Amino acid sequence: KNEVEQSPQNLTAQEGEFITINCSYSVGISALHWLQQHPGGGIVSLFMLSSGKKKHGRLIATINIQEKHSSLHITASHPRDSAVYICAVRSRIFTGNQFYFGTGTSLTVIP
């Protein structure tokens, strides 16, 4: 069983659509990270949050600690948003494997 589950695995949207990617986790955490990975490229940190909501441009991330759930929203999606979005949680307990990673959501935004 994966400690972090993301849905959907794949998502295709028309330009301008509102997009939601979900992340559920099963361990106690100190923080949750949303990462973006472009094809053939590196990984960029989008958000780190431990409560509430954060907004950066057209991206919004929310977390519900009680429900162990986070969502990443993209408003007015654009083809340049096409990437893999990865949810990662930092375990509250320093076990050596500090982060658990989801398998990613592959987003394609069509013009």
| CA atoms of 20 and 73, how far apart (whole Å) | 5
The verdict on 110 binding other proteins (CB under 8 A) reads: no
CB closer to other proteins, 26 vs 30: 30
Token pair belonging to 94: 């320093």
**CB under 8 A: which stretch of 11-19, 45-53, 57-65, 69-77 binds other proteins?**
45-53
Work out whether 51 is an interface residue with other proteins (CB under 8 A): no
> Any contact of residue 57 with other proteins (CB under 8 A)?
no
- Asked if 96 interacts with other proteins (CB under 8 A), we say yes
Pair 61, 69: CB distance under 8 Å? no
> Contact 9/107 with Cβ under 8 angstroms?
no
Supply the minimum distance, in Å, between the C-beta of residue 48 and other proteins.
Answer: 5
User: Both tokens of residue 107?
Assistant: 């987003």
| Shortest reach from residue 88's CB to other proteins, in Å | 8
The Cα–Cα gap between 82 and 9 comes to 13
Name the pairing type of β-strands 105-110 and 10-14. Answer: parallel
Decide if 60 contacts 77 (C-beta within 8 A).
no
- Min CB(35)–other proteins separation in Å: 7
Q: Give me the residues that bind other proteins (CB under 8 A), please.
A: 2, 4, 30-31, 33, 35, 41-45, 48, 50, 86, 88, 90, 94, 96-104
